[in-house]
Each structure stands twice: as C-alpha cells, then as structure tokens.
C-alpha cells in the first residue's frame, strides 16, 4: 500500500484549536479544508486536542459517530504519543476524524470542514469534508502529520 501524508497545520486559541488540512505528494499540495478541535489541555483524554506529531490513519466503525456514513470514521493512532484505537491501548483512545461543527461537539477528536464557520468558532460543511477525507484515505493517504 502506498502511503501519502495529510498535513494539519494548527493554531491554538483559548476555546479551540483551528487547523488547515492539506495533502502533500511530491511537490503538489492540495487543500482539503479546515479543522476544529478542543484546545490543548496536556493531551488529556476527552478534553484536549491531539498532540502534535505523526500518526497513522485507519478505517474504523464507531457506534456513535457519523451515523450518516454507517458509523465510518478515520481513527488517528500513535501509541508512542499516547493515542491508541481502543480503551486500554494508550492514555488516549477513540480519537477520530468525524463530522461536527464546533469544539463543544467533540471529545478529543478532529472535525474537518470545507470552510470556517461564518458566525461561530468552528467549521462548516463537515459531512462533505469527511466524505472527501474518505476518498483520500481510500486512495492511500494513510499518514497524518499534525504541526
């Protein structure tokens, strides 16, 4: 399987961390959209954004997220950075890319959006951005770098 990188360049704010999501292949950069997360709180499970670093992205089915996509989410994992897939594998678990618009709708996950929300802190068109992420993943984009 080929491995391509999805890059997430982030900026911290008091109520959220906002990011710019791109792909990089050779010299080409494609803009996917924006992201919203909870603000950084020492990488604590359910209340903090995900620490900066390199991660694997894997296909996963969640019982509670993305019901419009039959529960399909993209799980973000790197046990060396304390982020595992399931409870007990690492300090953090169940960290996904899934649809949401605002940081208060998240518990340590990342919500992509095609645009920034026009009136509140967050993103808009999140379901469409998730569908785009699924297409990238299905075409071999399996690594995430958060900066």
Segments forming the whole domain that contains residue 69: 5-146
What band does 129 get if pLDDT is binned at 50, 70 and 90?
A: very high
Number of domains in the chain: 1
Q: 2-44, pLDDT tens digit by residue?
A: 456 678 888 888 899 999 998 876 667 788 899 999 998 887 8
Q: For the whole model, what pTM was predicted? A: 0.88
| pLDDT > 90 in the chain, percent | 39
Please give the average per-residue pLDDT across 96-120, as a whole number.
Answer: 94
CA 138/CA 140 separation, integer angstroms:
6
């Amino acid at each position: 399987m080929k491995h391509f990188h999805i890059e997430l360049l982030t900026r911290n704010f008091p109520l959220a961390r906002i990011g710019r999501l791109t792909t990089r292949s050779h010299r080409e950069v494609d803009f996917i959209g924006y992201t919203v997360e909870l603000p950084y709180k020492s990488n604590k499970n359910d209340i903090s954004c995900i620490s900066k670093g390199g991660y694997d992205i894997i296909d996963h089915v969640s019982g509670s997220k993305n019901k419009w996509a039959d529960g399909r989410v993209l799980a973000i994992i790197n046990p060396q950075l304390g982020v595992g897939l399931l409870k007990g594998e690492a300090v953090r678990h169940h960290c996904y890319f899934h649809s949401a618009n605002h940081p208060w709708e998240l518990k340590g996950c990342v919500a992509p959006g095609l645009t920034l929300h026009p009136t509140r802190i967050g993103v808009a068109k999140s379901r469409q951005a998730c569908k785009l992420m699924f297409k990238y993943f299905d075409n071999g984009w399996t690594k995430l770098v958060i900066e």
